[in-house]
């Protein structure tokens, strides 16, 4: 039972990440490969606020979100200078830079040694030590993120994002400052990713740079593509499927020395098949 709860918690965390990335990729049409960077900034910021300042998790997490959004705002201004393939490459470069910072800023991040002993959330004397309690917390946060994303995409703001995705030049003719809209959604999505990072850090109670590499960004993008970009239900489905998939491989009996490589190979095969036969994903409406 504990194993299933663990899988469910990870599905909720990656569901938050996938929904937030879908706002950028699926609804606005910007191919970002930097989402793990904001995931990591949120995790490290939450951890440092918890351990160095001794803040409660429910104060530390909102502060970490604000910090991440400020970083995203600055990065978004730079990325707004690029379009299409150049945007993807620039976002990839940013993800690499953040990973290198995590790896080498030893005084703050402890580099590859990571930061252990991260406390679990505490509310009014109740500590979310039991995984069942943490799962409930993760599901509540996921529901809040989903509700916020749903509200945005159904609002006039969301309709403008979709119009930017379809034809940015046409919508700009009507006087809309498309760069501002893209910057706003990029910043909001980064804040959501920071929430997932804070939950991850507090659940695992240990973080290291390897959890926030470019490979993780590609994994989150694969979730969105599998589930379907431009549909909030799609990323949730993709998160469940791709979190479960490597766990199912454990029962195949693959040798431990090739299990990780087979996981990456399987992700690659899935993406290729999707691009060939179902480019809009399982329930998506937008083809990348």
Residues 6 or more apart from 58 whose CB is under 8 A from it?
A: 121, 123
Q: How confident is the model at residue 49 (pLDDT cuts 50, 70, 90)?
A: very high
Which of the residue ranges 17-21, 154-158, 171-175, 230-234 would you say has the lowest mean pLDDT? Answer: 171-175
Angle at 116 between CA 108 and CA 91, to 5 degrees: 55
Q: Is residue 29 included in any domain, yes or no?
A: yes
Query: What is the average per-residue pLDDT within 109-115?
Result: 90
Q: Is residue 255 included in any domain, yes or no?
A: no
Considering the chain, what percentage of its residues have pLDDT values greater than 90?
47
pTM score, whole prediction: 0.91
pLDDT at 79: 87
- Given a cut of 80, is residue 251 above it in pLDDT? no
Q: How confident is the model at residue 255 (pLDDT cuts 50, 70, 90)?
A: low
Q: Is residue 271 included in any domain, yes or no?
A: no
- Given a cut of 70, is residue 260 above it in pLDDT? no
Query: How many domains is the chain partitioned into structurally?
Result: 1
pLDDT tens per residue, range 209-246: 999 988 899 889 988 988 888 888 888 988 888 888 77
Catalogue the long-range contacts made by 52-60 (C-beta closer than 8 Å, 24 or more residues apart).
56/122, 56/123, 57/119, 57/120, 57/121, 57/122, 57/198, 57/202, 58/121, 58/123, 60/198
Residue 127 domain boundaries: 2-211
Q: Is residue 242 included in any domain, yes or no?
A: no
Q: Is residue 176 included in any domain, yes or no?
A: yes
DSSP 205: S
pLDDT tens per residue, range 113-140: 999 989 999 888 788 888 899 999 999 9
Q: How confident is the model at residue 24 (pLDDT cuts 50, 70, 90)?
A: very high
DSSP 120: P
Q: Is residue 241 included in any domain, yes or no?
A: no
Q: Is residue 92 included in any domain, yes or no?
A: yes
Q: Is residue 272 included in any domain, yes or no?
A: no
pLDDT tens per residue, range 182-215: 999 999 999 999 999 999 999 999 999 999 988 8
Highest mean predicted confidence (pLDDT) among 16-25, 80-89, 236-245, 275-284: 16-25
Angle at 276 between CA 273 and CA 281, to 5 degrees: 70
């Amino acid at each position: 039972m504990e194993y299933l709860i663990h899988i469910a918690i990870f599905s909720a965390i990656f569901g938050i990440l996938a929904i937030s990335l879908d706002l950028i990729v699926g609804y606005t049409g910007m191919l970002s490969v930097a989402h793990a960077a904001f995931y990591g900034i949120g995790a490290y910021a939450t951890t440092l606020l918890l351990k160095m300042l001794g803040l409660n998790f429910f104060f530390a997490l909102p502060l970490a979100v604000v910090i991440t959004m400020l970083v995203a705002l600055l990065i978004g201004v730079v990325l707004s200078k690029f379009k299409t393939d150049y945007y993807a490459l620039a976002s990839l470069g940013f993800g690499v830079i953040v990973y290198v910072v995590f790896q080498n800023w030893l005084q703050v991040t402890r580099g590859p040694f990571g930061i252990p002993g991260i406390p679990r959330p505490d509310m009014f004397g109740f500590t979310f030590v039991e995984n069942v309690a943490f799962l409930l917390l993760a599901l509540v946060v996921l529901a809040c993120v989903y509700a916020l994303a749903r509200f945005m995409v159904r609002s006039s703001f969301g309709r403008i994002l979709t119009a930017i995705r379809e034809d940015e030049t046409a919508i700009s003719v009507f006087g809309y400052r498309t760069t501002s809209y893209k910057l706003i959604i990029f910043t909001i999505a980064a804040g959501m990713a920071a929430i997932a990072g804070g939950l991850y850090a507090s659940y695992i109670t240990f973080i290291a740079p390897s959890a926030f590499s470019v490979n993780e960004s590609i994994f989150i993008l694969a979730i969105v593509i599998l589930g379907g970009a431009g549909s909030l239900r799609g990323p949730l489905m993709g998160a469940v499927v791709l979190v479960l998939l490597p766990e199912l491989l454990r029962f195949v009996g693959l040798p431990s020395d090739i299990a990780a490589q087979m996981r990456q190979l399987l992700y690659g095969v899935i993406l290729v098949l999707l691009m060939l036969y179902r480019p809009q994903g399982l329930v998506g409406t937008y083809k990348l």
